Structure 1
Amino acid sequence: MERLQAFKFELQPNGEQAQHIRCFAGSCRFVYNKALALQKTNHEAGEKFIGYVAMAANLPLWKRETGFEWLKDSPSQALQHALKDLEKAFKNFFEKRADFPRFKKKGTGDSFRYPDPKQIKLDQANGRIFLPKLGWLRYRNSREALGELRNVTVSQSGGKWFVSIQTRREVATELPQGGIVGIDMGIARFATLSDGSHFDPLNSFKKHQQRLKRYQRQMAKKVKFSKNWQKAKAKVTQVHINIGNARKDYLHKASTSISQNHAIVCIEDLQIRNMSKSSKGNAETHGKKVAQKSGLNRAILDQGWGEFRRQLDYKLMWCGGHLIAVPPHNTSRTCPACGHVSGENRQTQAKFECVECGYENNADVVGAINVLERGQRLLACGEVAQLGSSAKQEPAEVS
């Protein structure tokens, strides 16, 4: 079985290298935004979408434009890949998987990629990597990058630069361990399994919310873009990074535990974007219970259900298992004993009591049992709606 996996490390560039990295990321951002502006102008004129090949033909012209000669200093393949990223963003938009592409802003998602492995050299014994137009760079070598090197992505987060080294290797196909289980996602309980066990929520954002508010108030009082404003903004950014790192660590541990102990996992195919939509309404039609819905949306997004499902998908594949998505409607309102469906069955957030046969259990456990039963029916009918695998693209993030 072929496995593509990325290993992420913190870079330790010197001053000159750090300056070049910032310039390369800025050049890729400029090319992306210039191409996006061209696409929008072309669309408004009623013309067809410009593909990557036609758009890439503009790169030599842009490099020769007066005032843009500095584009020549950046790796050409990194600039080309920025155009490929834009084409992918439009493809996701056309297939209704994402919103219309937006212009990139400095300091947000700064990154660039070296797609050609022949131009890259990796010296793991000495903890360094050679990248075109940057030379040898040191990195925090916390673990071995296994497999044949395929490409390298340099990205920025919280004022630090990181390198993601994607590799390819052949691994033995593993036999899955354990049986089949259903999972009900929630807020009071992050994940409840059909066997009665559950994972408590981390609520990473909620734990840091007050400190984040304090830092945001301090930043709001500063003159925008002043030195003090930048210092205050750095504090806000660091809190967000801490929240994300804690959530990601928790999701990795939970998904690893489940994937290693179960061969088949049935999970609700939740439409998280629809579930977390704002209820503010508009000037003509005002929303109802806006504050309550806002708090619910915040709690839903704090759980990281989408990332959890993505991790379960590829980790189960690595372990030889499968992930099955089932329709989520009425999973916590259906009695697993008699099949009676009613909103009155769920007495409270946690208590389930069937009004038809009197069956009692925790509402989240009932939901997980129903998810399991639906997954088993799909398996029996051969109509398994297996989630799209992202195993081949998964970055195993380490620092």
Structure 2
Amino acid sequence: MKRLQAFKFQLRPNGQQECDMRRFAGACRFVFNKSLAWQNENHEAGNKYLPYVKMAAWLVEWKTTPETQWLKEAPSQPLQQALKDLERAYKNFFQKRASFPRFKKRGQSDAFRYPQGVKLDQENNRISLPKLGWISYRNSRQVVGEVKNVTVSQSCGKWYVSIQTEYEVAESVHTSTSLVGLDAGVAKLATLSDGTIFDPVNSFKTHQKKLAKLQREMSRKVKFSNNWKKAKRKVQNLHSRIGNIRRDYLHKVSTTISKNHAMIVIEDLKVANMSKSAAGTVKQPGRNVRAKSGLNRSILDQGWYELRRQLEYKQRWRGGQVLAINPAYTSQKCACCGHTTKENRRSQSQFECLECGYTENADINGARNILAAGHAALACGEMAALGHSMKQDPPRGELDFGLNAVGILALKGEEDVKDTILREPTTVGEMLSEEFLKPLNITQAKLGEALNLSRPRIAEIISGKRRISIEEAVMLAALFETDSDFWINVQASHDRWEARQLMAQKTSVKPLTALLAR
């Protein structure tokens, strides 16, 4: 299996090389903007969009025109790549993945790309680029694989090189076999269903006052003066620092989660919709605009989508999986009994079910609901794989990394749902939850009657607040017709010999088949 990976380093060019890189980036920007303008004129004339092959002929013409002969000074391949970037932008627009291509502004995202002709000398920390020669770079890690292309970019007055390589790797199998639900938030960046909490770094909030001060200083300068440019550079550097702090922290969090869990269930959050402005229009002004603006800043400061992106590719590399589920009502639903109402959430941090009295941290309760929704999707065969570590048609109820899906198996042919119960759930709580029992038309009241357990006791077992006793393990084993050792190993470390003795007595618990027949 081939893997593409990028390695980014800071360049250390001399004065002439930096001047040349600015000229090359400007030439690529000119080619992109001029081609976009010609495409717009062509469209206004009633003609169809022209592909890259047609646009490449324009580039040859511009190099021979006296007004644009200076394009010959730039390397030809980066100019061609600029045309390919425009072609890709049009394709993304036609396929409704992006907005209509826009003109590029000087000083914003200045970059150019070499598809070939690059030499890399890692021993001496230098790289050779066409028409630039050898440039030293700040080496921080070893580049592995065959170099496919190199992108030179500028940010906050500094130049960087991104080296994309391709190399062969073995098919990955995740070392863990656990599933976990992840609830993203503002007060807590990420809360896992096992109780792990990752606090937010809030890099923008930490530097907000300093940023406002620098922006005020810049607004007092004469625009485009040298002092204005110095002030602008300070603002840019602070923005870059804020982004770097956030990105670094998200990498640490995503790596920790990815290493310890084979399957991560997250909410399919639409961050763009959640962070829309509440200002409204002149005719219909919005309400609580200031409060909504503060919430939007807090949401965007967390980097939820970046966290999801990192989890997806890291799980793909490790042989794990990320599953996104519908986020509806995950914060209002009781993870114990399934009762859903907004009154269950008493405050931002506290959840108390009005139906069964179950109390828990609201974020942990939400993470458990997310995990339960992931189990339901897996059990119903609705797995929409974001990675490529699983086979196209995995065995029914079991993933490639040896993890049993909990819940009801996907049915085939004339199978009855009552005949398709998995015999090996992951936890006791999952087997006793409403998510598992509902498709079987069994209520927790029926289950409690069969097990001689009260609803509060069942709620405590599901939430993990109390461990099951040996007698309860035997009753569960008899009900679900499984080995009692499984229940004991999952929930507690009890005396197996005593459990086997009780099991041999065949405790008077109606099996699940009898309960289903009622």
Q: Quickly name the TM-score band, shorter chain normalised.
A: over 0.9
Report the number of matched residues: 387
**Alignment partner, residue 273 of structure 1:** 272
Q: For 1:49, give the aligned amino acid.
A: Y
Q: For 1:107, give the aligned amino acid.
A: G
Distance (whole Å) between structure 2 residues aligned to residue 386 and residue 275 of structure 1: 25
Higher mean C-alpha deviation, range 98-107 or range 11-20: 98-107
Alignment of 1:342-353 (within 5 A): 342-353=341-352
TM-superposed deviation, 1:188: 0.2
- Post-superposition Cα deviations, 1:239-276, rounded to whole Å, max 9, x if no partner, equal 00100110110011001111111101111111111111
- Post-superposition Cα deviations, 1:54-92, rounded to whole Å, max 9, x if no partner, equal 222211112222321111111111111112212222222
TM-score of the pair, normalised by structure 1: 0.94
In the alignment, structure 1 segments of 5+ residues that lack a partner are 390-399
Q: For 2:129, give the aligned amino acid.
A: L
**Alignment partner, residue 231 of structure 1:** 230
Tell me, yes or no, if the aligned pair for 2:153 and 2:161 is still in contact at 8 Å: yes
Distance (whole Å) between structure 1 residues aligned to residue 219 and residue 345 of structure 2: 45
Higher mean C-alpha deviation, range 66-75 or range 92-101: 92-101
**Alignment partner, residue 121 of structure 2:** 123
**Alignment partner, residue 175 of structure 1:** 173
**Alignment partner, residue 328 of structure 2:** 329
Higher mean C-alpha deviation, range 182-191 or range 274-283: 274-283
Higher mean C-alpha deviation, range 36-45 or range 251-260: 36-45
Q: Mark the structure with the bigger radius of gyration.
A: 2
Distance (whole Å) between structure 2 residues aligned to residue 177 and residue 254 of structure 1: 18
TM-superposed deviation, 1:355: 1.6
Alignment of 1:179-258 (within 5 A): 179-258=178-257
- Report the secondary structure of 2:259's partner residue: helix
Q: 1:44 to 1:291 in 2, by over 3 A?
A: farther
Distance (whole Å) between structure 2 residues aligned to residue 57 and residue 204 of structure 1: 47
Distance (whole Å) between structure 1 residues aligned to residue 45 and residue 32 of structure 2: 20
- Post-superposition Cα deviations, 1:88-111, rounded to whole Å, max 9, x if no partner, equal 222223333322222211111110
Higher mean C-alpha deviation, range 287-296 or range 98-107: 98-107
Distance (whole Å) between structure 2 residues aligned to residue 278 and residue 386 of structure 1: 33
Distance (whole Å) between structure 2 residues aligned to residue 28 and residue 224 of structure 1: 27
Alignment of 1:85-164 (within 5 A): 85-116=85-116, 119-164=117-162
Distance (whole Å) between structure 1 residues aligned to residue 103 and residue 223 of structure 2: 21
Q: 1:85 to 1:198 in 2, by over 3 A?
A: same
TM-superposed deviation, 1:341: 1.5
- Post-superposition Cα deviations, 1:29-70, rounded to whole Å, max 9, x if no partner, equal 111111222233333344322222222221111222232111
Higher mean C-alpha deviation, range 160-169 or range 30-39: 30-39
Distance (whole Å) between structure 2 residues aligned to residue 277 and residue 215 of structure 1: 26
- Post-superposition Cα deviations, 1:308-342, rounded to whole Å, max 9, x if no partner, equal 11110010111110111111111111111121221
Distance (whole Å) between structure 2 residues aligned to residue 153 and residue 248 of structure 1: 20
Question: With CA pairs under 8 Å and 6+ residues apart, which has the higher RCO, 1 or 2?
Answer: 1
Q: For 2:43, give the aligned amino acid.
A: H
**Alignment partner, residue 396 of structure 1:** none
Tell me, yes or no, if the aligned pair for 1:264 and 1:322 is still in contact at 8 Å: yes
**Alignment partner, residue 65 of structure 2:** 65
Distance (whole Å) between structure 2 residues aligned to residue 340 and residue 59 of structure 1: 65
Distance (whole Å) between structure 2 residues aligned to residue 360 and residue 5 of structure 1: 45
TM-score of the pair, normalised by structure 2: 0.73
- Report the secondary structure of 1:102's partner residue: coil
**Alignment partner, residue 510 of structure 2:** none
TM-superposed deviation, 1:173: 2.7
Tell me, yes or no, if the aligned pair for 2:316 and 2:387 is still in contact at 8 Å: no
Distance (whole Å) between structure 2 residues aligned to residue 191 and residue 295 of structure 1: 20
TM-superposed deviation, 1:189: 0.3
TM-superposed deviation, 1:176: 0.8
- Structure 1 residue 301 corresponds to structure 2 residue 300: yes
Tell me, yes or no, if the aligned pair for 1:326 and 1:385 is still in contact at 8 Å: no
Q: 1:273 to 1:44 in 2, by over 3 A?
A: farther
Q: 1:31 to 1:6 in 2, by over 3 A?
A: same
Tell me, yes or no, if the aligned pair for 2:315 and 2:387 is still in contact at 8 Å: no
Higher mean C-alpha deviation, range 95-104 or range 284-293: 95-104
In the alignment, structure 2 segments of 5+ residues that lack a partner are 389-518
Tell me, yes or no, if the aligned pair for 1:316 and 1:323 is still in contact at 8 Å: yes
**Alignment partner, residue 4 of structure 1:** 4
Tell me, yes or no, if the aligned pair for 1:325 and 1:386 is still in contact at 8 Å: no
- Report the secondary structure of 1:30's partner residue: helix
Q: For 1:162, give the aligned amino acid.
A: Y
TM-superposed deviation, 1:388: 6.6
Q: 1:164 to 1:15 in 2, by over 3 A?
A: same
Distance (whole Å) between structure 1 residues aligned to residue 34 and residue 387 of structure 2: 32
Q: For 1:348, give the aligned amino acid.
A: S
Q: For 1:121, give the aligned amino acid.
A: K
Distance (whole Å) between structure 2 residues aligned to residue 23 and residue 388 of structure 1: 40
**Alignment partner, residue 368 of structure 1:** 367
**Alignment partner, residue 83 of structure 2:** 83
Quick check: which one's strand share is greater?
1
- Report the secondary structure of 1:358's partner residue: coil
Q: For 1:366, give the aligned amino acid.
A: N
Q: For 2:53, give the aligned amino acid.
A: V
Higher mean C-alpha deviation, range 330-339 or range 249-258: 330-339
Q: 1:388 to 1:48 in 2, by over 3 A?
A: farther
- Report the secondary structure of 1:126's partner residue: coil
Distance (whole Å) between structure 2 residues aligned to residue 103 and residue 342 of structure 1: 49
Distance (whole Å) between structure 2 residues aligned to residue 375 and residue 95 of structure 1: 29
Q: 1:155 to 1:261 in 2, by over 3 A?
A: same
Distance (whole Å) between structure 1 residues aligned to residue 114 and residue 123 of structure 2: 22
